[in-house]
Amino acid sequence: MIVRKREHWFKMLFVWHGSVLPQLLPRLGMLFLFSVVVVYFHGTMFSYKVPLNPAPFTLFGFVLALFLGFRNHASYERFWEGRKLWGALLNIMRSLTRQMLTLPRHLPDQSMPEFLDLLAAFVFALKHQLRGTDPQSDLKKRLGAVAFETVMSARYKPAAILGFVGIWVKKRRDAGDIDSVQQARFDENLDKLTDVLGGCERIQSTPIPYSYRVLLHRTIYIYCFLLPFGLMDSLDWFTPCIVVFIAYTFVAFEAIADEIEEPFGKEDNDLALNSMTWMIEETIREMAGQPIAVPEQAVRTHVLD
């Protein structure tokens, strides 16, 4: 995810990194050349003059803009729900850490590090599951040998780690370190973690209906490739520039919607899961008096000065 400091309005005109313009340049270039050809031949194709004028494009452009607004709103809702789920994940992790530190009457020496490792492993496993990446190196550092083998053999690794957290709570209850009421408080937060996991999986596995995306995509490009015929008579050789500017607006909106529709990916405008994952581990270990050194790259990769 790209996070920039607020910039001067003039400098923003030339922002490149984080903009969708680089991926649109080939399409806009093709449309520009097509518009030049249309103007050169005076809107005639195969000896037939295409009888179009700006009026229908004005009306249809307004309707198309409404549909694009709805598409972007639907995509941003998915993006924002993903961000809220990861915000809730941070809060739950802090609550579990606080409960681990304050509720038990006694904790064996290895119980606290084991609990923190399980919580951190859950966050890293969730990030890797959502991005489809290999979690082995991150989980091996945070899980014991038995837990590591069990989790790596599971298809849904975050859920498997939650099982080990539940076993940790049960052990503390059996040892008399916490009572049944305190165990229930732990279980409430574990249930919330399950809700966060399920919410993230829902976003990842349920994209915006494909037929809707195809319809809007086709409509945008048909509109853009017909536009030179409607503007040529009134704008002459200014037509290619105006067509590319209008097309950039429509096509860029579609490209942005496609990016943020899947908020857990690795594109510039997706959520900064790498940074958030390290931040969650950092805060729970700091609460327990075990601060860690967070790799600078993990924090800075999504920030531009």
3-class secondary structure per residue, the chain: CCEECCCCHHHHCCCCCCCCHHHHHHHHHHHHHHHHHHHHCCCEECCEECCCCHHHHHHHHHHHHHHHHHHHHHHHHHHHHHHHHHHHHHHHHHHHHHHHHHCCCCCCCCHHHHHHHHHHHHHHHHHHHHHCCCCHHHHHCCCCHHHHHHHHHCCCHHHHHHHHHHHHHHHHHHCCCCCHHHHHHHHHHHHHHHHHHHHHHHHHHCCCCHHHHHHHHHHHHHHHHHHHHHHHHHHHHHHHHHHHHHHHHHHHHHHHHHHHHCCCCCCCCCCCHHHHHHHHHHHHHHHCCCCCCCCHHHHHCCEEC
How many domains are contained in the chain? 1
pLDDT value for 210: 87
CB-based contact 123:98 (threshold 8 Å): no
CB-based contact 264:274 (threshold 8 Å): no
Look at the pTM and tell me if it is higher than 0.75. Answer: yes
pLDDT value for 189: 96
Q: Which residues of the chain have pLDDT under 50?
A: 302-305
Tell me how far apart the alpha carbons of residues 6 and 12 are, in angstroms, rounded to a whole number.
9
Tell me how far apart the alpha carbons of residues 2 and 17 are, in angstroms, rounded to a whole number.
8
- Picking from 182, 184, 186, the residue whose alpha carbon sits closest to that of residue 115 is 186
Full residue range of the structural domain in which residue 225 is found: 3-304
Tell me how far apart the alpha carbons of residues 297 and 151 are, in angstroms, rounded to a whole number.
27
pLDDT value for 108: 85
pLDDT value for 300: 53
pLDDT value for 21: 82
